[in-house]
Amino acid sequence: MAPPGDKSEASEEAMVAEPEQRPISTIVIIIAMQTEALPVVNKLQLKEDPDSVFPPGVPWVRYYGTYKDLNINLIWPGKDPTLGVDSVGTVSSALVTYAAIQALKPDLIINAGTAGGFKAKGANIGDIFVVLDCAFHDRRIPIPVFDLYGIGLRKACETPNLVKELNLKVGKLSTGDSLDMTQQDEASIIANDATVKDMEGAAVAYVAELLKVPAIFIKAVTDLVDSDKPTAEEFLQNLAAVTAALDQAVELVIDFINGKRFSQL
């Protein structure tokens, strides 16, 4: 290794600035559902990529464009090839996060989407949350250390200035592959101290950490899990209004990030 202050090393450093030292430039936004994704695509005037960067035959869709000084890629896992519904959940979101990072080398991942909220923890319908950390609530492995692996707690990229300036709520996110909630899930969600519950966040966080890309999670509350209304009904009832709030929030977040370095978030 070259001694400290070695000239060639210093000049190399100046040429290839570390991501922390230069403004964020390439962003990958992961959104699970078409209803959530299309308003953002339209707002940021993104175009669908006709030459997929993904393997042939997969349903994953990339929308891309330049917005202010940013290269934006929005990845939607697409419709299930057999059943024709959105490919929601952890498996699809982990796969597209991996493939998008490999193909597009982003500086930052943003996972945006709807979520269930807990009114006991201060969530209301239509609230936008910036997630502090993500964990799983349906990976129970009661063996020492495997239990922690199952929970899979991961921190989100810290964004104190963004939260303050945009006046967003903050909370912890718990992820599982079901829209409903069993009693065991509920106990794990409480143990995770979560305010919001989704089906993708902790999976995106896992891949982002593996590949060392900072990740931000923006979650809009479509349903209150601890209310009397059935979740699926409440979710569908509020989906359109809440996705409108979500796409506004994503635009504000992108506007805030534009021109900034990680240390300024």
Q: E-strand spans in the chain?
A: 26-30, 47-48, 61-67, 70-76, 108-117, 128-136, 154-155, 169-175, 196-198, 215-224
* 96 is a contact residue toward ligand SAH (CB under 6 A): no
Nearest CB to ligand SAH, comparing residues 28 and 265? 28
Q: Where are the alpha helices (DSSP H) in 20-89?
A: 34-43
Q: Print burial letters for 102-117: b (CB count within 10 Å at least 16), e (below 16).
A: eebebbbbbbbbbbbb
Q: How far is the CB of 2 from ligand SAH (least distance, A)?
A: 48
Q: Is 223 considered catalytic here?
A: yes
* 115 is a contact residue toward ligand SAH (CB under 6 A): yes
Nearest CB to ligand SAH, comparing residues 132 and 179? 179
Contact criterion met (CB below 8 Å) for 108 and 213: yes
User: What is d(CA 208, CA 228) in angstroms, rounded to the nearest whole number?
Assistant: 36
Contact criterion met (CB below 8 Å) for 46 and 72: yes
- Stretch touching ligand SAH by CB under 6 A, among 40-48, 112-120, 132-140, 158-166: 112-120
Nearest CB to ligand SAH, comparing residues 39 and 116? 116
Q: Say which residues have a Cβ less than 8 Å from residue 21's Cβ, sequence separation at least 6.
A: 261
Nearest CB to ligand SAH, comparing residues 186 and 258? 186
User: What is d(CA 106, CA 97) in angstroms, rounded to the nearest whole number?
Assistant: 10
Q: How far is the CB of 198 from ligand SAH (least distance, A)?
A: 4
Q: How far is the CB of 236 from ligand SAH (least distance, A)?
A: 6
Instruction: Compute the Cα dihedral for 44, 48, 54, 59 and give only its sign.
Output: positive
Would you give the binding string for ligand SAH spanning residues 2-41, x where CB under 6 A is met? ------------------------------xx--------
Contact criterion met (CB below 8 Å) for 128 and 236: no
Q: Which of residues 188-207 bind ligand SAH (CB under 6 A)?
A: 197-200
Q: Is 36 considered catalytic here?
A: yes
Pick the binder of ligand SAH from 97, 192, 222, 243 (CB under 6 A). 222
The one-letter code for the residue type at 255 is D
- Stretch touching ligand SAH by CB under 6 A, among 37-45, 50-58, 164-172, 218-226: 218-226
* 106 is a contact residue toward ligand SAH (CB under 6 A): no
User: What is d(CA 155, CA 131) in angstroms, rounded to the nearest whole number?
Assistant: 9
Nearest CB to ligand SAH, comparing residues 159 and 238? 238
Active centre residues (catalytic): 36, 223
Instruction: Write out the residues near ligand SAH by the rule CB under 6 A.
Output: 32-33, 85-86, 88, 113-116, 179, 197-200, 222-223, 225, 231-232, 235
